[in-house]
């Protein structure tokens, strides 16, 4: 009887998790902000397509993702935050570009990137998406063929994308504050002083993200950037229940998203159609990400595939999608175990106690 009840409870929990995949919260973003996000990612690829340099436009569009980190604080603090996040994007991407020639060095620097991105974002209470897109940009930098002579150009184009996002953020902030008189200037929150816990959590996240990437490379997976990305997404859960829920959402949402990516790539879209798709996906993602993570993942998936694989995917979408699904299952498994470590009270408290001065 006990085993029967346990099995029934598991079915109910799984049903609740799947139902929550379709539930929308009330956390809406302003339409003007959503438009700025679409422009910050869409304009670079538009310019790239216009001058017949679509691949460079993709790099600029990746830099435009920094718009996601614009806080609703007074304009000076808002712009300083944007500038620092742009610097963080550049460092994360540069480390990926410069170390992709060696398996162990690449995985090690990715782990360090995840560690510092998590440490800084948690200490300064950076709102969602937190460290996630720093790690995503770092992973995408590792998908580029290693060429030291092209590194300055690649990093420079990414920085141009972040600069464009900062200009759009300033224009949006001035217009909303001084023209529409609708400023949402909430004061920035205080830094988190529990530094030992933050260091431990950041260390575990860095180890598992770097480890998932290293393991995927060592077993011979081709360009497995989705493994650490999936691991990072899942380990952002604020509790182990959220980690488990994000695991379900990540796998289900990504399977559906990969189906959408397969449809897009099978249609062999031209560069101008890809410009519209990237712009539209960016708008949809940011309209959903604060309301339902699982639904947002459905659209994050094809956007990331386009960023990383658009130049090679058109000829073999079936093989590409299968490879990415394997990456996601692997990364989600690492993320689930890492989430258990972070949110296992006895284990984590014992480590934290050892770090306190005696």
Q: Express each pLDDT in 177-233 by its tens digit.
A: 887 666 666 777 778 777 888 888 899 999 999 999 999 999 998 888 989 998 988
- Residue 182 near residue 174 (C-beta atoms within 8 A): no
Tokens of 277: 């798709």
**Which pLDDT does position 314 carry in this prediction?**
45
The sign of the torsion formed by the CA atoms of 212, 213, 216, 222 equals positive
**Which pLDDT does position 132 carry in this prediction?**
87
What span, in angstroms and rounded, lies between the C-alpha atoms of 205 and 213?
12
**Which pLDDT does position 336 carry in this prediction?**
82
**Which pLDDT does position 3 carry in this prediction?**
54
Q: Is it the case that residue 124 has pLDDT exceeding 80? A: yes
Q: Express each pLDDT in 268-297 by its tens digit.
A: 888 899 999 999 999 888 888 767 767 887
| Average pLDDT score over the chain | 83
Q: Express each pLDDT in 137-168 by its tens digit.
A: 999 999 999 999 999 999 999 999 999 999 99
**Which pLDDT does position 285 carry in this prediction?**
84
**Which pLDDT does position 312 carry in this prediction?**
47
Confidence of residue 115 (pLDDT cuts 50, 70, 90): very high
What span, in angstroms and rounded, lies between the C-alpha atoms of 302 and 298?
8
User: pTM (2 decimals)?
Assistant: 0.86
**If DSSP states are collapsed to H, E and C, what string results for the chain?**
CHHHHHHHHHHHHHHHHHHHCCCCCCCCCCHHHHHHHHHHHHHHHHHHHHCCCHHHHHHHHHHHHHHHHCCCCCHHHHHHHHHHHHHHHHHHHHHHHHHCCCHHHHHHHHHHHHHHHHHHHHHCCCCCCCCHHHHHHHHHHCCCCCCHHHHHHHHHHHHHHHHHHHHHHHHHHHHHHHHCCCCCCCCCCCCCCCHHHHHHHHHHHHHHHHHHHHHHHHCCCCCCCHHHHHHHHHHCCCCHHHHHHHHHHHHHHHHHHHHHHHHHHHCCCCHHHHHHHHHHHHHHHHHHCCCCHHHHHHHHHHHHHHHHHCCCCCCCHHHHHHHHHHHHHHHHHHHHHHHHHHCCHHHHHHHHHHHCCC
Least confident of 31-35, 107-111, 148-152: 31-35
Q: Which residue has the higher pLDDT, 53 or 193?
A: 53
Q: What is the mean pLDDT of residues 322-333?
A: 86
Start-to-end Cα distance in the chain: 50
**Which pLDDT does position 134 carry in this prediction?**
95
Q: Is it the case that residue 1 has pLDDT exceeding 60? A: no
Q: Write the CA distances from 172 to 25, 40, 50, 75, 177, integer angstroms.
A: 25, 12, 25, 10, 8
What span, in angstroms and rounded, lies between the C-alpha atoms of 90 and 63?
8
């Amino acid at each position: 009887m006990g085993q029967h009840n346990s099995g029934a409870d598991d079915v109910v929990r799984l049903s609740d998790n799947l139902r929550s995949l379709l539930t929308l919260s009330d956390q809406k973003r302003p339409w003007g902000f959503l438009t700025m996000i679409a422009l910050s990612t869409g304009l670079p690829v538009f310019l790239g397509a216009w001058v017949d340099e679509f691949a460079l436009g993709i790099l600029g569009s990746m830099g435009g993702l920094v718009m996601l980190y614009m806080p609703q604080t007074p304009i000076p603090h808002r712009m300083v935050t944007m500038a620092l996040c742009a610097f963080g994007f550049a460092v994360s991407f540069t480390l990926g570009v410069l170390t992709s020639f060696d398996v162990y060095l690449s995985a090690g620097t990715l782990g360090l990137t995840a560690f510092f991105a998590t440490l800084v974002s948690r200490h300064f209470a950076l709102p969602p998406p937190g460290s996630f897109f720093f790690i995503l940009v770092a992973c995408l930098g590792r998908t580029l063929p290693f060429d030291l002579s092209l590194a300055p150009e690649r990093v420079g184009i990414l920085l141009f994308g972040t600069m464009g996002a900062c200009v759009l953020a300033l224009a949006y902030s001035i217009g909303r504050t001084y023209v529409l008189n609708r400023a949402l200037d909430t004061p920035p929150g205080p830094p988190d002083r529990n530094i030992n816990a933050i260091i431990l959590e950041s260390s575990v996240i860095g180890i598992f993200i770097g480890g998932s990437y290293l393991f995927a490379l060592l077993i011979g997976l081709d360009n497995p950037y989705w493994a650490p990305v999936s691991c990072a997404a899942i380990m952002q859960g604020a509790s182990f229940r959220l980690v488990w829920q994000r695991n379900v959402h990540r796998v289900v949402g990504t399977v559906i998203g990969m189906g959408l990516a397969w449809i897009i790539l099978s249609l062999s879209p031209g560069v101008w159609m890809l410009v519209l798709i990237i712009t539209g996906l960016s708008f949809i993602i940011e309209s959903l990400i604060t309301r339902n993570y699982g639904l947002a993942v459905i659209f994050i998936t094809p956007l990331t595939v386009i960023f990383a694989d658009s130049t090679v995917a058109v000829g073999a979408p079936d093989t590409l999608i299968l490879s990415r699904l394997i990456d996601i299952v692997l990364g989600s498994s690492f993320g689930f175990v890492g989430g258990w470590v972070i949110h296992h009270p006895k284990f984590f408290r014992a480590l934290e106690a050892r770090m306190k001065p005696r």
